[in-house]
Every structure is written in C-alpha cells, then in structure tokens.
Amino acid sequence: MREEAPTRRSFLLGKGSEYSPSIRPPGTTPATFRSCTGCGLCVERCPTGVIKLGDGRPLLDFTTAECTFCGECRLACPEPVFLPEGALRFDHFASITDACLAKRNVACQSCGESCPENAIRFKPRLGGPFLPDLDEHACIGCGACVGVCPVSAITVKSRQLEAADA
C-alpha cells in the first residue's frame, strides 16, 4: 500500500500523518507493565515530557519529545514495572516512509540532525537532495527524529516483527 503525502494545506498547518503506536516506557516488558497502577508518577518525573497517560497507563508520545533513557521514570515508580537495570534502547526502531520530503525531491535533513546516535545519515544522489539512510541496528528507538519531521514521515517498527518477517 502506497502512503500518501500530506497535502500542502495540511503540511502548512502542521498536520501530517497521525502517529499513534502505543509504546511503553523504556525498561518495561509486557509482563512487568501489567503491574502498572497508572499513578502517573513517571509522567510527572519525566524531564522531556515524552511520557503521557493514555487509557490510564503511561505511554510515550514521540511527536512531542524524545526519550533520553535517563531512568527517572524507573526511579519514580513505586511498583515493580521496570526492570532493575533499566534500558538503553527500545524494542523498536525508526522507519522513514515515502512521505519523506527528501524522497520527494525537497531538501530536508531534520531527522538526521536530531538523531543522537547518528543512525540516520544522508547519501548524495544526482539531480536531487541527499536521501536518508537509516541504520536500524544503530537506532535506539528514542523518537528524537519523529517529532522533528515536518511531514510526519517517520514511524516506528517493532524489532520482533521485523525479525519474524525475515
């Protein structure tokens, strides 16, 4: 299925494709996340504000901020929701869709400039702007690239689902 680029009007109004996957805070598993009471202490403690309460549970919204893996959410949580060692990457990675401006011959490198791991680099091409090249293994899934994309062309993909498809 081909992904449609946003209209000029929606782009200028800041409305790209919607971002909605449910992403748990770092250092949690589906099993440990069941212990979450939805108290919201992790939301209050998150220095970037990436953690929001959704359906009574903390979820990450990369359209507003990135996760720095600081561990404040883990320290604030009174329940056994987080693994003791925390996490330094997510079980997902960024994915750049065909709505990307550079893929549509418009120069843009916002995602690469925001990536703390340099997982997004740009390759030159003749007759057009440099194209993004994402190293899925270097991507830690922090979401820094998601919110800065002016056309919401970056989504996240599960590492487990990608491995199962391979």
Q: Give the CATH number for residue 59.
A: 3.30.70.20
pLDDT score at 41: 98
pLDDT in tens, 13-43: 444 444 445 899 999 999 999 999 999 999 9
pLDDT score at 16: 44
DSSP-assigned beta bridge partners for residue 40: none
Tell which residue, 27, 25, 28, 19, has the closest CA to residue 49: 25
Rounded to an integer, the average pLDDT of 115-125 is 97
Query: Is residue 108 located within the same domain as residue 155?
Result: yes
Query: Is residue 153 located within the same domain as residue 114?
Result: yes
Given a contact cutoff of 8 angstroms between Cβ atoms, the answer to whether 26 and 122 are in contact is no
Given a contact cutoff of 8 angstroms between Cβ atoms, the answer to whether 36 and 79 are in contact is yes
pLDDT in tens, 37-95: 999 999 999 999 999 998 899 999 999 999 999 999 999 999 999 999 889 999 999 99
Tell which residue, 92, 82, 85, 104, has the closest CA to residue 140: 92
Query: Is residue 56 located within the same domain as residue 112?
Result: no
Q: Say whether pLDDT at 142 is over 90.
A: yes
- Domain range for 66 is 30-76
Higher pLDDT, residue 8 or 40: 40
Query: Is residue 107 located within the same domain as residue 160?
Result: yes
